[in-house]
Amino acid sequence: SCFCPWTSRKPPRSVEISRCVLNEYYYTVSFTPNISLNSDHCEWYEKRVLEAIRTAIGAEVFKVEIMNCTQDIMARLIASRPLSNHVLNKLQACEHPVGDFCMLYPKLPIKKGSATGIEEENLCESLLKNQEKAYKGENKCVKVDDFYWFQCADGYRAVRDVTRGRLRRSVCKAGVSCTDKEQLDCANKGQICVFENEKPNCQCPPDTVPGQAGCAARTTCNPKEIRECEDKKKECVYRDQKAECQCPEGTVDYGQGCSGGPVEASCTKESIAECRSNGQRCAIENGRPVCKETSHVATTTEATKADPDPGKSS
């Protein structure tokens, strides 16, 4: 069954009411008005509050429902889209003070300091509570990002998801998920609970590997990533929490692959000069220039390789 608490009101034409769908955004605010209140007829004040709210924060709010009007007014604001952060404290700002009151035009005076901030309502705790009960423990209502999601409760696994606007429901299958206790046991080990082979298993989260003290961030490529790089004739390097395929040292990446063989390294004039200043010679080791102890003959030989005709002016 599907209980739709918003189908009884009259929303704008763009809002669907023929099926259980949610596209609007719900907020709450409270304040003390400088008018007499009749708690038996809170609906009397809805039009006045709606006019004041729309004047103060904008036309996004298309409906107001008065939830309580005993001493203060607690109002539910229904908007066609999310309200901007800069309007959430608009009533508290008291932009039009009149003595001990703040005037919300066109005709709603409220006591200074009585207004709360406008807060998004958690529909799981209010309008969607009856719908959650209708699922008889199979689904639980959770707000996830922009959605109100009836997720599978403990002991159930999601078979598929159905989305209607900002509502989402998981269709669940019984007996194939980790319980709260099993999830907690795994969390205490720094792991997550995964239901596999009809039993719960503690596993390290993605991009981590088992270590001596639980799970640790991995620092090397996994076998699959290594194979993918090898297929491209490249080496796998893991850094910044991701795997990258790179050409082997001494080769050049020309877009479609790496150069056929290592580029022969040699001592530059700068390397030779630096080594000479320390009475050493320049040599290539592991593809890099290094300074090594040398005789006069070796130094002359290296210098000749770098500049075969030192007496010739350029």
Pick 176 or 38 by higher pLDDT: 38
Determine the Cα–Cα distance for residues 236 and 95; give it in Å rounded to an integer: 61
Predicted structure pTM score: 0.53
Q: Among 140, 32, 26, 172, which Cα is nearest to 92's?
A: 32
Average pLDDT (249-276) is 75
List Cα–Cα distances, 159 to 140, 156, 176, 177, in angstroms: 15, 9, 11, 12
Check residue 305 and give its pLDDT. 47
For residue 268, pLDDT over 80 is answered with: yes
Check residue 260 and give its pLDDT. 64
CA angle 271, 277, 281 (to 5 degrees): 55
**Do residues 9 and 50 make contact, with C-beta atoms less than 8 angstroms apart?**
no
Residue spans per domain, the chain? 25-121, 124-174, 180-217, 219-263, 269-306
Structural element, H or E, at residue 296: helix 296-306
Cα dihedral 164, 165, 168, 169 in deg (nearest 10)? -20
For residue 14, pLDDT over 90 is answered with: no
Pick 82 or 300 by higher pLDDT: 82
Domain 25-121 adopts which CATH fold?
A: Alpha-Beta Plaits (3.30.70)
Check residue 213 and give its pLDDT. 67
CA 299 to chain centroid = 61
Check residue 68 and give its pLDDT. 93
- 292-305 pLDDT, tens digit per residue, is 886 544 444 444 44
For residue 196, pLDDT over 90 is answered with: no
Q: In whole angstroms, how large is the CA radius of gyration of the chain?
A: 35
Check residue 134 and give its pLDDT. 85
Report the mean per-residue pLDDT for the chain. Answer: 81
**Share of residues in the chain with pLDDT > 70 (%):** 82
Determine the Cα–Cα distance for residues 86 and 229; give it in Å rounded to an integer: 49
Query: Any idea which of 150-154, 171-175, 252-256 has the lowest mean pLDDT?
Result: 252-256
CA 248 to chain centroid = 35
Average pLDDT (29-46) is 90
Check residue 162 and give its pLDDT. 84
For residue 104, pLDDT over 60 is answered with: yes
**Do residues 304 and 311 make contact, with C-beta atoms less than 8 angstroms apart?**
no
Determine the Cα–Cα distance for residues 72 and 135; give it in Å rounded to an integer: 35
Determine the Cα–Cα distance for residues 91 and 148; give it in Å rounded to an integer: 27
Check residue 165 and give its pLDDT. 83
**Share of residues in the chain with pLDDT > 90 (%):** 27
**Do residues 281 and 299 make contact, with C-beta atoms less than 8 angstroms apart?**
yes
Task: Tally Cβ neighbours within 10 Å of residue 183.
Answer: 17
Average pLDDT (132-144) is 89
Check residue 98 and give its pLDDT. 92
Beta bridge partners of 172: 158
Query: Any idea which of 13-17, 49-53, 118-122, 276-280 has the lowest mean pLDDT?
Result: 13-17
Amino acid at 313: S
Query: Any idea which of 11-15, 106-110, 117-121, 262-266 has the lowest mean pLDDT?
Result: 11-15
Average pLDDT (47-58) is 94
For residue 245, pLDDT over 80 is answered with: yes
For residue 51, pLDDT over 50 is answered with: yes
Query: What tokens appear for 214 in the block?
Result: 């639980």
Pick 19 or 105 by higher pLDDT: 105
Check residue 294 and give its pLDDT. 65
The SS3 assignment for 171 reads strand
Query: Any idea which of 3-17, 60-74, 285-299 has the lowest mean pLDDT?
Result: 3-17
For residue 157, pLDDT over 50 is answered with: yes
Check residue 304 and give its pLDDT. 45
